[in-house]
Amino acid sequence: MRFTQPIEALEAQEEVLRKQVNGLTQSQKKRYFAEQSRQLKDPDTYAALNWAFLGGFHHLYLRKYRLFIVECTLLVIAVIGLVMSQPYFALILVGLVLFELPQLFLAQKIARQYNYHVSRSIYEHVRHGD
């Protein structure tokens, strides 16, 4: 997912997908919306997880398991280093904060991009009858 993608481009992609979904048969639409309601993620929940918890727990919400493991590991290492009075481990914390800030401010957009990609995948799956 790209942070730099203009929101207008995302909205245009969503509109194209809406039109494509409207072209599905009734049974395909039913399957599409049933699957979509099961898989889509709430942008507000993603933003709240990003705001409230350190260690990348919001990545779990969007199924980015590797990124969660890396962030959580770095956080644990930084905390252990700081507890052991190694001040240079604060650099890891600064790095994590700098990495997370754009994700915090763009949380709504990130969740919408995720939902678009999930919806696109569901559409392709339903359209091809897999």
Q: What is the DSSP string of 74-97?
A: HHHHHHHHHHTT-GGGHHHHHHHH
Tokens of 12: 């245009």
Tokens of 16: 């194209």
pTM over 0.75? The answer is: yes
Tokens of 58: 């919001």
User: What span, in angstroms and rounded, lies between the C-alpha atoms of 119 and 35?
Assistant: 9
Return the half-sphere exposure (C-beta side, CA atoms, 13 A cut-off) of residue 35. 17
Q: Coil, strand or helix: which one is 130?
A: coil
Where b means 16+ CB within 10 Å and e means fewer, 100-128 reads beebeebbebbbbbbbbebbeebbeebee
**The residue type at 27:** S
User: What span, in angstroms and rounded, lies between the C-alpha atoms of 23 and 30?
Assistant: 12
Q: State the pLDDT confidence band at 74, using cuts at 50, 70 and 90.
A: very high
Tokens of 47: 């933003």
Query: What is the pLDDT at residue 29?
Result: 94
pLDDT in tens, 108-128: 999 999 999 999 999 999 998
